[in-house]
Chains A and B, each alone.
Chain A
Amino acid sequence: MPYPADFKYAKSHEWVKPDGKNATIGITNYAQESLGDIVFVDLPKVGSEITAGKSFGSVESVKAVSDLYAPVSGTVTAVNDELAKSPENINKNAHGAWMLKIDVKNADELKALLSSADYEKFVAEEGGH
């Protein structure tokens, strides 16, 4: 599956779609494949702060929990409530099932993230080991 070119990617498998001062965050298709059937997503409340590199929540499958790491810092402006009812949406369409919308604190942080081509390469290497 191609990784959208207008997204940026973290090595911890979250994607960011920048949109001016705002950004949308989710996890990649590689992540949902590794996790298997997702049963629950634990997300922060609107108004809370997330910090690049730090955990902002977690995603659960039946037998495992994985922390979600913020690719960039900011303030949460919206949370996708659909995921509370239908966490499987992430499995169906990881790049469409957004988790958070934030007010970006520091646009420079985006520079540290991978492009879709670089992410694809990274994932190919990781999957091969």
Chain B
Amino acid sequence: MKHVTRKATRHVSQNEGLVFEKSSAGKAAWKLPPLDVPEVDTEKALGASGRKDLGNMPEVSEIEIIRHFTRLSTWNYAIDLGMYPLGSCTMKYNPRVNEVVARLDGLANGHPYQPEKISQGALRILKTLSECLVEITGMDAITLQPAAGAHGELTGLLMVRAHHHSKGHPRKKILIPDSAHGTNPATAATVGYAVENLKSNSQGMVDTAALAAQMNEDVAALMLTNPNTLGVFEQEIHKIADIMHAKGGLLYMDGANMNALVGKVRPGDFGVDLMHLNLHKTFSTPHGGGGPGSGPVAVKQFLEPFLPKPVVISKPNGTLGFDYSRPQSVGRVRAFYGNFGMFVRALAYIFANGPDGLRQTTEDAVLNANYIRKGLEGSYDLPYSTPSMHEVVFSDKLQAKKGVRTMDIAKRLIDYGFHPYTTAFPLIVPGALMIEPTESESKEEMDLFIEAMRSIAEEVTEDAQLVLDAPHSTRVSRLDEVAAARKPILRWKPQ
């Protein structure tokens, strides 16, 4: 390595094969208590439905399992190890008190169908979280049912559809900016809408003239992310909302970038009719390697009748309950009530912050992104000069002259001890480097990041091949994704 990194040092890490490679008959990690009821003759009970054998399921001991997963865990990067500069992911600290309260017995072992009489704890959590999120978003009502952001988008669009249907004018199209996350058009298609692209203007924001031209009575809604995926606040949001509303269309907001807004401004105040939140982004619930998430959808009053059922209500006797008599509801988008475990965690996060903490959090998130922007300006091309909120997008234009692209720079960043930023998104910036530090990064960590990125920019001019062949210090080098896609091997098989 040409340049030395202060953040990370190479270290011997344990090897570990697949658990099936350790399996052998007679090893066991389980033991059941003796049966206190008579045994059952399986043959008699199940007949032809009985299973003969469990094939290649493994047999290993407890210590082997502990070592197996512990070793595997050491091969991962994590927020607990350092910054993730991933744009639009909001990789913030996952507070541990969240994990403790989620495991309290009555909450962790509550059955969704237990009588309301003994579910007042869970109901109170649902109600309190709902009230906090409604206040934070400036909306009027909310559903916590959707399991993730994309699921929330689906739920939101179902309500959009129900609204237009109730007006007697079902509409056919959804407008989506070309800077949008892929889930937006995928969701619109799932709900049976045609997707129409909305071009961004030269500043990367919604082109309001184009919007006015494309908006008509066939358009059900505009799906907008604000701040957008460039990290820029749509300054003409008032005009955007007016254009939509003038022709009876709705303004849907993808709340992925709420980390720039909480406590400083509320989408409900700037014309948004409905929006989803990502509890696993803004509200600190852990990413866990890809999920679970939670995607509540907050709405203005006129959309309240369409919320998925059930909704939480206060009953005349003062207790809380579920209301299923909702004739205009869009129905259910999943069984039970939502990812309750994530509600507990998100509410604990809100409690830990309070109004002042949330505001300070948002300010630090925006402060940090701007610090990084300042630190990298000059080393990397900044395609848009518009002010950044909580994330900043650079491009690989300068480095591309040497044949080095955003993915290569990202891989080299790994050698410096960081996880890559978001590469090649948004689509409107060719060769994008999308960076969102979040408020959880100290000045020290950010300085290390800036130092690393500047160093890589130098390496590109001095020794491009070093960057092109990165990473050099990981357990595995770049993996053959082509072979993986041509001849997929999706499970282990015995020899």
Contact = CB atoms under 8 A, between A and B. Distances in A.
Nearest to A87: B486
Contacts of A40: 485-486
A60 B484 CA distance: 13
Interface in A60-94: 60-63, 87-88
Nearest to B485: A39
Interface string A7-48: 000000000000000000000000000000101100000000
Interface string B475-486: 000000110011
Interface in B441-495: 481-482, 485-486
Contacts of A63: 424
A62 B407 CA distance: 14
Contacts of A62: 481-482, 485
Contacts of A87: 486
Contacts of B424: 63
B340 to A, nearest CB: 36
Contacts of A61: 482
Contacts of B481: 62
A37 B482 CA distance: 7
Most buried by B among A39, A87, A88: A39
B407 to A, nearest CB: 9
A128 to B, nearest CB: 16
A103 B447 CA distance: 65
Nearest to B488: A39
B5 to A, nearest CB: 28
A37 B424 CA distance: 18
A62 B482 CA distance: 6
B270 to A, nearest CB: 36
Contacts of A60: 485
A87 B488 CA distance: 13
B109 to A, nearest CB: 43
A87 to B, nearest CB: 6
Interface string B408-424: 00000000000000001
A10 to B, nearest CB: 23
Contacts of B485: 39-40, 60, 62
A39 B485 CA distance: 6
A87 B482 CA distance: 11
B72 to A, nearest CB: 25
Most buried by B among A40, A62, A63: A62
A61 B482 CA distance: 8
A39 B483 CA distance: 8
Contacts of B486: 39-40, 87-88
B482 to A, nearest CB: 4
B80 to A, nearest CB: 30
A4 B131 CA distance: 68
A15 B424 CA distance: 30
A63 B481 CA distance: 9
B418 to A, nearest CB: 22
Interface string A81-111: 0000001100000000000000000000000
A39 B486 CA distance: 5
A60 B488 CA distance: 14
A74 B424 CA distance: 38
Contacts of A39: 482, 485-486
A27 B99 CA distance: 54
B422 to A, nearest CB: 14
Interface in B188-212: none
Nearest to B481: A62
A40 B485 CA distance: 8
A88 B485 CA distance: 12
Nearest to A86: B486
A43 B342 CA distance: 43
A40 to B, nearest CB: 7
B486 to A, nearest CB: 5
A61 B486 CA distance: 9
Interface in B296-320: none
A39 B482 CA distance: 6
B282 to A, nearest CB: 28
A93 to B, nearest CB: 17
Interface string B392-430: 000000000000000000000000000000001000000
A97 to B, nearest CB: 14
Shortest beta-carbon contacts, A-B, top 10: A39-B485, A37-B482, A62-B481, A39-B486, A62-B485, A62-B482, A39-B482, A87-B486, A40-B485, A88-B486
14 contacts: A37-B482, A39-B482, A39-B485, A39-B486, A40-B485, A40-B486, A60-B485, A61-B482, A62-B481, A62-B482, A62-B485, A63-B424, A87-B486, A88-B486
Given A37-B482, A62-B485, 12 more contacts: A39-B482, A39-B485, A39-B486, A40-B485, A40-B486, A60-B485, A61-B482, A62-B481, A62-B482, A63-B424, A87-B486, A88-B486
